[in-house]
Structure 1
Amino acid sequence: MKVSYKKFEEMAKDAFYRIPSEFRDRLDNIDIVVAERPEAEFFKERRFSLRNLLGLYCGVPLRRRGIFYSNVLSDRIILYKDNIESRCKNEEELKRKIEDVLLHEIGHYFGLSEKELRSLEKGTK
């Protein structure tokens, strides 16, 4: 399922505003961006397929921020458009997948590990 870059951004924005306000309001110093696909050069030392990477959180998780956390660049959540689209058959699936990936990466922002997030995700399906 392919959509325009602009449409994908709109869907991501809508997904963001569907996040409960008690979580959304705690997000601070974070940008959510869309990229077509992961940059191979950036991930050359990773041991996984870049086609499987749907999103990425880059930053200092909330749990690890100390009293000296200030004057830093914004954290980022990157949503990889091509990889997410490749897993969806229609627009409704695409909306759900964007929301799932965004929530997963926000979980990393709050300090949850990959293992903790996978466990939570299994419990909701």
Structure 2
Amino acid sequence: MSDTGQPPRFAPTKEEIETLALAALSRLPGPFRDHLSDVVLFVEEFADADILAEMEIDDPFGLTGLYSGRPVGQEAQTGDTPPTVHLFRRPLLDEWVETGVALDALITHVVVHEIGHHFGLSDLDMHVLEDMVAP
């Protein structure tokens, strides 16, 4: 117990981050949710070294999320893997602490941005969508 009589607070786990991400996805308007059944969500500690090198990112804390796959409307090719959204826990937690933004709002922001790539949305469209699903 801490001096306040409260149990110590630990950083949110990958499972807690996933719960927040799934909640953000559930708030998306139906037409968007209807096209997400094949998107796979992963929560990992950090992006792997190959992804960081490919994106020319030197600091592993510099990437909070990543979409991989073909946007909706592009014809699938033989051998395509399902589209994925990766959230990177440690960079998300660092941004949460540094910015003071509520964690659910930060996760929503990153999820909407990555899902926006799935739909081929512009940055402006992503901001509008984010405002619609804000926690």
1:80 pairs with one of 88, 91, 105:
88
Between the aligned residues of both structures, percent identity stands at 26
Deviations along 1:22-77, one digit per CA (max 9) or x if unpaired, are 211122421011111111233224323432211100111113x22x5466321100
Higher mean C-alpha deviation, range 75-84 or range 87-96: 87-96
For structure 2, the 5+ residue unaligned runs are 1-9
- The reply to whether residue 100 of structure 1 matches residue 109 of structure 2 is yes
For structure 1, the 5+ residue unaligned runs are none
Structure 2 length as normaliser, TM-score? 0.72
Deviations along 1:70-120, one digit per CA (max 9) or x if unpaired, are 6632110001111111111499711011111101011100123xxx32x44
Q: How does 1:46-65 map to 2 (within 5 A)?
A: 46-48=55-57, 49-63=59-73, 65=74
- The reply to whether residue 19 of structure 1 matches residue 22 of structure 2 is no
Query: 1 CA distance for matches of 2:48 and 2:106?
Result: 21
Structure 1 length as normaliser, TM-score? 0.77
Residue 111 of structure 2 aligns to a residue whose secondary structure is helix
Residue 33 of structure 1 aligns to a residue whose secondary structure is strand
Query: 2 CA distance for matches of 1:28 and 1:2?
Result: 29
